Amino acid sequence: MTMLLGLRFLHYLSMAIWLSAALQVTFQLRALSKDPSGDNPAVKASTGSAGPLGHIGAVGSLATGLGMIFSLGGMAGVPWPVHVSLTLALGMWLLLGLAERGLSSVHAAITAGQSDRETLSGRLRNYRLMTIAFHVLWTLVLLLMVLRNAIG
């Protein structure tokens, strides 16, 4: 039981790291859409730490989640909301990676002097939609995990 509690603590910690990285990407996209120029402090301050931090949180979350699943008896021993949440978490990881990669390409275009507002606005809109989808999936996973015993 102590191992399960340790895994649960690490799982919560990893999820918090993952969410903070996703929020950092979201806030950077919002700042860039307001002012897509090289003088924007969001462009200068962004070092791209959200991507690696998000991937560390995602891998930690998925690994500890799988550890908890197998300590509870494998996939057959957990309710169906856990299966759905695992699948959604993989989709969230993909979405965050795509949004972070897109944000990096926007940053590169801005620092190279290609900060045409019309050109960047379409790209920024697509990446904002990806982060919105990520947060919707995040909410679904959170609801499934909180209510897993009541609905499963």
b/e map 88-111, b = 16+ CB within 10 Å: bbeebbebbebbbebbeebbebbe
**Tell me, what's the pLDDT at 101?**
75
DSSP 78: S
Q: List the domain boundaries for the chain.
A: 2-151
**Tell me, what's the pLDDT at 140?**
93
Chain segment 65-102, per-residue pLDDT in tens? 999 999 988 899 888 898 999 999 998 888 877 777 77
pTM passes above 0.85: no
User: Rounded CA gap, 103 and 22, in Å?
Assistant: 12
Residues of the chain under the 70 pLDDT cut = 1, 35-50, 114-119, 152
Phi, psi of 132 (to 5 degrees): -65, -45
Q: Provide the terminal-to-terminal Cα distance of the chain, rounded to the nearest Å.
A: 22
User: Rounded CA gap, 88 and 75, in Å?
Assistant: 16
Residue 108, CA atoms < 13 Å, CB-side half-sphere:
7
